[in-house]
Amino acid sequence: MTDGREIIVARRRLGEHCRDLLVAQGLSTGDALTVADSLVSAECRGTVSHGVARLPHYLERLRRGSIQARPAITVAREFGATMLLDGGDGLGQVVNQRAVTEVTRLTRDHGCGWVSIRRNSHCGAMAYYGLQIAREEMVAIVFTHSDSLVLPHGARQKYQGTNPICVAAPGEGDEVFCLDMATSAVPWNRVMNARQRGDSIPAGVAVDAAGRDTTDPHRAVALHAAGGHRGSGLGLAIDMLCSMLGGAPFGIHIPIMYGDLDSPRELGGLVGAIDIRAFAEPAEFRRRVSAWMAEIRALPADDHSPRVLAPGDPEATADMANSQSLAIPPTTLAALNAEASRAGLPPLAACE
């Protein structure tokens, strides 16, 4: 235990537990490993809004058939350095992993590549895919959209999703510049986690049904955009890229994640990559990225920050700290073990 509210579990065992639950629900071992690794990676990097607490929701959708355990992922169109990928209503991590494979191939062949995705579901943290592409000595640009959760700037009604973006580029050694951010003030899953934990949410990020700011996650029905009109505009641009290119639904027409669990999500996405070799020597590019990040970190901190961090620093530090074990809420452990009992699997135990 940590502060009486969280339980320490072994990282490897947590991944195995998630994998086994997914295999029990019909996934292949390889696809189950991908989904489990994505969830555990997000948890360990501190992106708990996209961590293992999402797994029971995925399993319920698999049981109901709105997510396919063994989707028929197909190439709907390929032209030059571009591809339209039909996800067949599979788990988002499985579909996006295929998109990473395809965009990496296209980029090696053409110097850059773009894969538009349709008929996808929730795919977890964007950094999971951006980091993989960056490790191939490429620059990654990854988008997805979500159902209507965010108020466009100046509006009283939610319309756009949290619509995240990830940009990743390799530095020297294991260092990676990795911006992974929602265009909402916080990810909606952070509200869901607060409900589960019994916590409040920060002021100024969410509104209730009457449009008033609230810190009660149970009363929250919509989020503010990050940075006012700028975040709102960026979120709408991402919705356009994710919906219009591949023919996916947009805005209020996207099926709700926690709504009708019997209907597929039909999400769109866009995964892009740039081959560094098309512009520079990879070793020199990496050196310059690391030098640039070092200069950012060396800037004098303001009165509210102990030090200046580069994008990706907090997540990389958390991942290293959680390399062997990590803390999860008792409610999350209970939910995972309820799924294990349902599947006839042994429970996940806390570290002694």
The catalytic residue positions are 122
> In a 3-state reduction of DSSP, which class is residue 267?
strand
In whole angstroms, give the CA distance from residue 120 to residue 73.
10
The region, left, alpha or beta by phi > 0 then psi within -120 to 50, assigned to residue 139 is beta
Tokens found for residue 175: 């260092």
DSSP string for residues in 246-265 = TT---GGGSPPTTS-TTS--
3-state secondary structure 151-209: CCCCCCCCCECCCCEEEEEECCCCCEEEEEECCECCCHHHHHHHHHHCCCCCCCCEECC
In angstroms, how far is CA 17 from the centroid of its own chain? 20
Strands (E) in the chain, as ranges, are 7-10, 74-79, 82-86, 112-120, 138-144, 165-170, 176-181, 206-207, 222-223, 267-275, 325-328
All residues at 6 or more sequence positions from 317 whose CB lies less than 8 Å from its CB, including other chains: none
Structural contact between residues 222 and 239, judged by C-beta atoms closer than 8 angstroms: no
Give the tokens for residue 324: 């062997």
**Which token pair is 72?**
């028929």
∠ CA 81-82-87, nearest 5°, is: 140
